[in-house]
Amino acid sequence: MKFLLKIFIIAALSFALANVLNGVHVADFWTAIVFAFVLAILNVFAKPVLIILTLPVTLLTLGLFLFVINAVMVLLASKMVDGFIIDNFWWALLFSLLLSFIMSIIDKQAKEEKNKR
């Protein structure tokens, strides 16, 4: 259940960010849901491989290269989903930064609610 809720939240955020950012285009909310699901699958299978392959660069940049890896995951997911278009790498980087930041706030709020019970 948590997985589906997180997919729905990411889809809603993606749809909202597409309305705010000029370089990100989403056809409809269903496309955002498919994008969120594809992004989750890529984050489970492809992202760890990329992190290991780029470990020297990540260590050299003190972890900042992980932002690039996140942007690449977003670009790759957008290439796989028809109707979800990101104009270039910089829009993907901004999109992934905002998505990660907002999701971290939501996760923090959820943990605080869980600890109150």
Distance of CA 105 to the CA centre of its chain: 14
The 3-state DSSP class for residue 64 equals coil
Rg (CA), the chain: 15
Residue type, 110: A
Q: What is the DSSP letter of 84?
A: E
pLDDT by residue for the chain (117 residues), tens digit each? 689 999 999 999 999 999 999 999 999 999 999 999 999 999 999 999 999 999 999 999 999 999 999 999 999 999 999 999 999 999 999 999 999 999 999 999 989 888 887
